[in-house]
Every structure is written in structure tokens, then in C-alpha cells.
């Protein structure tokens, strides 16, 4: 998206939480100011994406619930000299996978590449499952999305998420417990307490190309039948 352009998603569904990943793709290091509209009653919100060189930074993560609005619009002003990359993710989006990696995550305990703009999805089998994330890079960022909640997971925490890296639009996204953050100090993160109930989950890499090049993800069942 460049100066004078807008992008609009107008099919948000009630009960579903969405995250829009915003990357500053400007060739030179400069702030990209985006105007965000999600309500006809609330003025546009300005979000500043930190400058990077050649789209080398992590995403700014914007969360919004379909129970608060059925649309979200992003715009760059007519005089802007910046450019941005924006992709929306949820249990049901994107419907167009051009430019991203979108595939099922096998529940087999094997590690799979988890690079920039990769979306994995899985229907969890009944019983307990374990999620594993691995990265040697400092501050690798990913998101786990359930239907109406999300968890931002930061591996190898460095300086922490920058101010404004998580944006929450609307009452539900801002409600405590809707969007949580786990800052993990180690190279490997495991969560063995995922209860499988036939519901879907999604995992999205929210980091840069360079910082996600060695990242891996795995999902395995802990309740498999023996014999």
C-alpha cells in the first residue's frame, strides 16, 4: 500500500477475533503513519509504524473483534512517502493466500518452518496437546489465535515489544484476557496444557524475514492411544 491508497475488509464475523499484521515496507528508514477506521462513530486512529530499512522489522499487531465491528479500513495519506504491507488473519482469514504460506499444522510432533507471513491451522483432537516453538533469534514473535482470544508469544525476550506494537481496537479487544502476551526468555517454548476439543486454532508468524529464518513450530497429541 502506498500514498493515497486504502485497504478495507468488510466481512468481519461476530464472535471472531482478527489480527492485522502491519509491516513498514518503506525502502528507507522512516516512520509510516497509517489511518485506521473501524467505526463510523469514532474518528480515524493514527498508528505509527517504526522505520526500518527494506522491510526488515517485525509487524505491528492490530487486534479487533467482529463483535465490535464488521469492517476495518487502513489508509496512507496522499502526501505520505511511506509504503506498508498489511495482512489480516483469523480462524477464517485470509480468504486469499497470495503472498503468504497457509497450510495445516500436522499433529505429529514434528518441527515445521515458521517464517514471516506463515499461517498454520489445526483442528485439535480430543485430549491434551503440546505446542512447541523454537528459535535461536532474539525476540522471535508469533501469535496463537483461538476463536475470540489471542496470545502473542515472544521467544528469547530482548528489550521487549516496542510501545504501540500491539494495538487493540474496540471494547472486546481491549478487554482483559482477550489479547495476552507471553515473553519467554529461552530459545524453546512449550505449552503442554492445550485442551483439544475439536475446535480450531491458528498460529501466525509476526516477525521479519531475517528474524524468522530458523524458527520452527510443532504440535503433538499427548493423549494418543497406545498399542
pLDDT at 135: 97
In DSSP terms, which residues pair with 120 in a beta bridge?
103, 203
The pLDDT, as a whole number, for residue 189 is 96
**Burial class (CB within 10 angstroms; exposed 0-12, middle 13-18, buried 19+) of 21:** buried
* Cα–Cα distance measured from residue 54 to residue 89, given in angstroms and rounded to the nearest whole number: 23
Contact partners, residue 71, CB within 8 Å, separation at least 6: 8, 9, 10, 11, 12, 38
| Adjacent-strand bridge partners of 154 | 141, 183
| pLDDT in the model for residue 224 | 63
pLDDT for 226: 47
Going from N- to C-terminal start, the domains of the chain cover 6-90+98-221
Mean pLDDT in runs of 10 for the chain (227 residues)?
Answer: 94 96 92 95 95 86 97 96 94 90 96 98 90 97 95 94 96 97 96 87 97 97 66
pTM (two decimals) = 0.94
CA torsion, ordered 26, 162, 144, 46, to nearest 10 deg: -60
Are the CB atoms for 76 and 82 separated by under 8 Å?
yes
Amino acid at each position: 500500500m502506498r500514498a493515497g491508497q486504502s485497504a478495507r475488509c468488510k466481512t468481519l464475523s461476530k464472535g471472531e477475533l482478527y489480527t492485522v499484521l502491519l509491516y513498514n515496507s518503506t525502502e528507507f528508514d522512516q516512520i509510516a503513519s497509517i489511518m485506521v477506521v473501524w467505526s463510523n462513530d469514532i474518528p480515524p486512529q493514527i498508528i505509527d509504524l517504526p522505520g526500518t530499512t527494506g522491510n526488515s522489522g517485525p509487524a505491528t499487531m492490530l487486534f479487533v473483534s467482529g463483535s465490535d465491528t464488521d469492517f476495518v479500513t487502513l489508509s496512507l495519506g496522499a502526501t505520505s512517502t511511506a509504503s506498508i504491507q498489511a495482512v489480516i488473519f483469523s480462524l477464517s482469514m485470509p480468504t486469499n493466500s497470495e503472498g503468504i504460506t497457509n497450510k495445516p499444522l500436522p499433529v505429529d510432533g514434528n518441527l515445521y518452518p515458521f517464517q514471516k507471513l506463515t499461517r498454520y491451522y489445526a483442528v485439535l483432537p480430543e485430549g491434551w496437546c503440546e505446542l512447541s516453538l523454537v528459535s535461536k533469534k532474539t525476540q522471535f514473535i508469533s501469535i496463537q489465535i483461538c476463536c475470540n482470544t489471542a496470545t502473542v508469544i515472544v521467544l528469547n525476550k530482548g528489550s521487549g515489544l516496542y510501545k504501540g506494537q500491539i494495538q487493540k481496537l474496540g471494547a472486546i479487544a481491549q478487554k482483559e484476557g482477550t489479547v495476552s502476551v507471553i515473553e519467554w526468555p529461552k530459545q524453546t517454548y512449550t505449552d503442554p496444557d492445550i485442551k483439544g476439543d475439536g475446535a480450531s486454532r491458528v498460529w501466525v508468524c509476526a516477525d521479519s524475514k531475517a528474524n524468522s529464518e530458523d524458527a520452527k513450530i510443532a504440535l503433538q497429541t499427548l493423549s494418543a492411544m497406545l498399542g
